[in-house]
């Protein structure tokens, strides 16, 4: 039996490798091997005050801390049966937009280098300086959105149960709104550059899962829905999404009807592509992404499209916030025992937090399902389908193509293990 | 002066070689380096970042002038990486709360960690679950940049200082100092258990800016007035359990208890 082994895949968040077993030229199985330590975040939450959940779970991931804060808050609000008024929801949506914008921009920097023949993503700085500048500008805008509302871009501390500890600075929000057209122009400019990238060809049918609601391209709220027949409320997530652990592995992976499924930008586009804003729709046409799209390499393209959509969306939300006379930042609540689930769309896909709390306001049980834990299973099936097409390539070229597929998923191993 | 710069050339000196590595971590510290944004170009131009797996692939040299390392030692592999990096580096910098004081992952040290892991995994075979310690308990660390996450401006300042051959130093000032000059509301006076008065500043009191208490993510001052603060907390009616919770958050409960005993 032959094996393809990659010990460490670079340009992903965290430590992971891959092993593929091949017998007589036939792929038997592909396994992602995660080498990150377990920090036992769900365990350390037990017995701690509910207000700490958003601060502690933010530390699951330095790339998407804001979405952990907000999802934790939503889950605990569900447990406490608190209703969050629209002005707070809008600010949270802006934070999530900022989070996805900055995370996607970084990933385009990391993954596009493969297509440009650069080993080092930072080489974009000198070799594609206009694109690099655009990426930095877009990221900074995303970070500023989070920072202005959440207090800080990495591990924000203002977003908690009931809203925000402090009202965001209105002047700064106004400035961000004024800056928005320039950032949108940068993103469109970046998409022109992106158009020249020739995304790998590949296709394998799978089920897409994302939040869905009738009003908008869902990021903050909606039912957990799929391209097949799934449509359940977040509260009932474990009736459709089943966690499982393979022998001596460190990730609790997730399956649906025994099968893998995909979450993330490409899944969201496939489920709600008709709800994109104008410029994002035009970009989708320009980048020739036709839905449904089963080429996971196009996850990168979907990120480019989402950046533009979310910058447009941010403008609407900022305008709404600044115009509104009814500015509420925090609602009070009473501690009581209960169980609640929160779900949001993180940059890499559906994120679920579930908590059981007691009448002292302490966490009794916590469960967190991250996007990477959900799509790793799908990635393995993709690898099994993709690798046979690489037969004619040299071992080096083969490795490069395999890594490109892995990177297209934008893995976050820290999130997956937590 | 420290000798981090490599050999001189006709045009001055070669750029120092740099490694930026993470152990078991959230990568938030590395994010702060990338979040230098426009400043990042200045940093990249002056350094040779030869090892930075988050953004680059390919073989890298085996010696570094400066190495940044974030995260905790959880796996044997983590320990190997840390020990090897120590051997390879002239100047090793621990970056972030996990690396400097234990951070969030250290909370489990104060719990029954065998019981805790069973809450998460059906099978705990092969899953390493050691006590969490700051990196200086494993290898010699030349400088600590604390904080969860560290402050990016502080990172830039430290790099600038290293480039002129000076060992950077973080002034022994409490978070309160930075909080007061910015005229933020004092949360301790409001009756909240804020650790700002005994915590090493340099974060620009960013939590206080958002109305959040200081939880000592940067670790304590070298001579903290911990006993005084305890008296205030007691007067405010803070229970021992709540105090422990607060101190455990970034893994400084053991440190605090040592200070009280001394």
Compare all CA atoms of chain A with the CA of B49 and give the residue at the minimum distance.
A122
Q: Give the C-alpha separation, A248 to A170, whole Å.
A: 51
Model pTM? 0.96
pLDDT at B13: 64
- Phi, psi (degrees; rounded to nearest 5) at A62: -80, -10
- Distance to chain B for A251, nearest Cα, Å: 9
Would you call A242 an interface residue with chain B, using a CB distance cutoff of 8 Å? no
pLDDT (0 to 100) of residue A12: 87
- Give me the pLDDT at residue A118, please: 87
- The verdict on a CB contact (< 8 Å) between A38 and B30 is no
Pairing of strands A207-212, A261-262: parallel
Q: Which helix (H) or strand (E) holds A364?
A: strand A363-369
Angle between helices A129-150 and A86-115 (to 10 degrees): 160
- Counting as low any pLDDT under 50, the low residues of chain A are none
Give the DSSP H/E element, type plus range, for residue B205: none
* Residue A37 to residue B123, Cβ atoms within 8 A: no
* Chain B, nearest residue to A144 by Cα: B35
Say which residues have a Cβ less than 8 Å from residue A401's Cβ, sequence separation at least 6. Answer: A200, A386, A390, A393
Instruction: Give the pLDDT score at B217.
Output: 98
Tell whether A393 lies on the interface with B, counting CB pairs under 8 A: no
Locate the chain B residue with the closest alpha carbon to A133.
Answer: B38
Q: In sequence order, what are the beta bridge partners of A26?
A: A23
> Residue A51 is inside which H or E element, if any?
none
Contact B6, B39 (CB under 8 A): no
Is the Cβ of A345 closer than 8 Å to some Cβ of chain B?
no
B243-259 confidence digits (pLDDT tens):
999 999 999 999 999 99
Chain A residue with Cα closest to B109? A44
- CB atoms B25 and A414 under 8 Å: yes
At B179-213, the pLDDT tens digits run 999 999 999 999 999 999 999 999 999 999 999 99
A:152-171 residues touching chain B, CB 8 A cutoff: 152-158, 165-166
A7 touching B (Cβ < 8 Å):
no
- Name the more confident of B54 and B11: B54
Helix, coil or strand: residue B72: strand
Q: Which residue has the higher pLDDT, B14 or B121?
A: B121
Question: A2-416: which CATH topology?
Answer: Cytochrome-c3 Hydrogenase; chain B (1.10.645)
Would the CB atoms of B119 and A38 count as touching at under 8 Å?
no
* Nearest CA-CA distance, residue B51 and chain A, Å: 10
- Residue B57: pLDDT over 80: no
Question: Taking CB atoms and an 8 Å cutoff, what residues of chain B touch A126?
Answer: none
Q: Chain B contact for A131, CB < 8 A?
A: no
Structure tokens at A365: 């049980």
Q: What is the pLDDT of residue A26?
A: 82
Give A409's Cβ-side CA count (13 Å radius). Answer: 28
> Which residues pair with residue B69 across a beta bridge?
B21, B94
Is residue A340 less than 8 Å (CB to CB) from chain B? no
Distances from the Cα of B8 to the Cα of A5, A22, B3, B61, angstroms? 41, 51, 12, 19
Q: Residue A136 is nearest to which of B38, B107, B149, comparing CB atoms?
A: B38
Task: List B95's β-bridge partners, or say none.
Answer: B70, B145
| pLDDT at site B3 | 60
pLDDT for A304 equals: 98
Residues of chain A neighbouring B34 (CB-CB closer than 8 A): 106
The band of B38, judged by pLDDT with boundaries at 50, 70 and 90, is confident
Q: What is the ipTM of this complex?
A: 0.94
Q: How confident is the model at residue B8 (pLDDT cuts 50, 70, 90)?
A: low
Nearest to B26 among A40, A59, A245 (CB): A59
**Which residues of chain B lie closer than 8 angstroms to A347, CB-CB?**
none
Which chain A residue has its CA at the smallest distance from B207's CA? A157
CA distance B44 to B243: 43
**Cβ pair B75:A35 closer than 8 A:** yes
- HEC per residue, A215-264: CCCCCCCCEEEECCCCEECHHHHHHCCEEECCCCCCCCEEEECCECEECC
């Amino acid at each position: 039996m032959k094996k393809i082994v990659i010990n460490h895949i670079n340009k992903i968040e965290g430590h992971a490798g891959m092993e593929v077993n091949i017998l007589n030229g036939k792929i038997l199985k592909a396994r992602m091997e995660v080498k990150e330590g377990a920090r036992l975040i769900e365990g350390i939450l037990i017995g701690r005050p509910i207000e700490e959940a958003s601060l502690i779970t933010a530390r699951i991931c330095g790339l998407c801390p804001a979405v952990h804060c907000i999802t934790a808050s939503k889950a605990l609000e569900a447990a406490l049966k608190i209703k969050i008024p629209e002005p707070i929801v809008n600010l949270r949506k802006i934070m999530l937009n900022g989070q996805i914008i900055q995370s996607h921009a970084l990933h385009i920097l990391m993954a596009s280098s493969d297509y440009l023949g650069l080993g080092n993503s930072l080489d974009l700085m000198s070799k594609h300086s206009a694109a690099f500048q655009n990426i930095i500008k877009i990221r900074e805008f995303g970070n500023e959105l989070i920072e202005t509302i959440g207090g800080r871009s990495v591990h924000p501390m203002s977003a908690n149960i009931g809203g925000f500890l402090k009202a965001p600075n209105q002047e700064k929000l106004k400035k961000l709104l004024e800056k928005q057209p320039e950032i949108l122009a940068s993103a469109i400019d970046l998409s022109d550059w992106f158009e020249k990238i020739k995304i790998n060809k590949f296709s394998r049918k799978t089920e897409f899962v994302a939040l869905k609601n009738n009003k908008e391209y869902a990021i903050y709220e909606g039912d957990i829905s799929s391209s097949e027949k799934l449509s359940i409320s977040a509260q009932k997530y474990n009736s459709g999404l089943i966690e499982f652990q393979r022998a001596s592995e460190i990730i609790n992976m997730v399956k649906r009807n025994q099968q893998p499924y995909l979450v993330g930008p490409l899944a969201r586009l496939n489920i709600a592509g008709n709800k994109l804003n104008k410029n994002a729709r035009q970009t989708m046409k320009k980048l020739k992404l036709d839905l449904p799209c089963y080429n996971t390499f196009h996850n990168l393209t979907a990120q480019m499209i989402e950046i533009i959509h979310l910058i447009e969306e941010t403008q609407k939300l900022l305008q709404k916030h600044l115009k509104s006379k009814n500015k509420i930042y925090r609602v009070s609540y009473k501690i009581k025992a209960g169980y609640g689930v929160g779900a949001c769309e993180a940059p890499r896909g559906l994120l679920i937090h579930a908590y059981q709390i007691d009448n002292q306001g302490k966490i009794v049980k916590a469960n967190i399902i991250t996007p990477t834990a959900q799509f790793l299973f799908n990635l393995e099936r993709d690898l099994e389908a993709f690798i046979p097409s690489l037969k004619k390539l040299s071992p080096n070229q083969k490795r490069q193509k395999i890594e490109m597929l892995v990177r297209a998923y934008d893995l976050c191993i820290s999130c997956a293990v937590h | 002066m420290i000798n981090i710069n490599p050999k001189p050339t006709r045009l001055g000196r070669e750029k120092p070689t740099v490694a930026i590595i993470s152990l078991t971590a959230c990568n938030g510290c590395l994010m702060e380096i990338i979040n230098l944004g426009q400043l990042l170009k200045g940093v990249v131009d002056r350094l040779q970042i030869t090892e930075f797996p988050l953004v680059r692939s390919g073989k890298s040299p085996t010696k570094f002038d400066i190495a940044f390392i974030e995260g905790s030692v959880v796996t044997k592999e983590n320990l190997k990486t840390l020990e090897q990096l120590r051997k390879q580096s002239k100047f090793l910098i621990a970056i972030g709360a996990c690396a400097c004081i234990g951070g969030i992952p250290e909370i489990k040290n104060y719990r029954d960690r065998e019981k805790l892991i069973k809450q998460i995994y059906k099978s705990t075979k092969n899953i390493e679950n050691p006590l969490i310690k700051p990196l200086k308990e494993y290898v010699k660390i030349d400088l600590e940049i604390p904080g969860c996450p560290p402050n990016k401006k502080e990172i830039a300042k430290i790099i600038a200082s290293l480039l002129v051959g000076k060992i950077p130093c973080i002034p022994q000032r409490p978070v309160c100092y930075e909080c007061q000059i910015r005229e933020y509301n004092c949360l301790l006076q409001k009756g909240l258990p804020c650790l700002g008065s005994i915590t090493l500043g340099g974060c620009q009191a960013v939590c206080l800016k958002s109305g959040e208490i200081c939880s000592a993510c940067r670790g304590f001052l070298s001579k903290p007035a911990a006993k005084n603060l305890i008296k205030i907390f007691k007067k405010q009616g803070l229970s021992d359990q709540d105090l422990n919770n607060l101190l455990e958050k970034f893994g400084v409960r053991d440190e605090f208890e040592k200070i009280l005993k001394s």
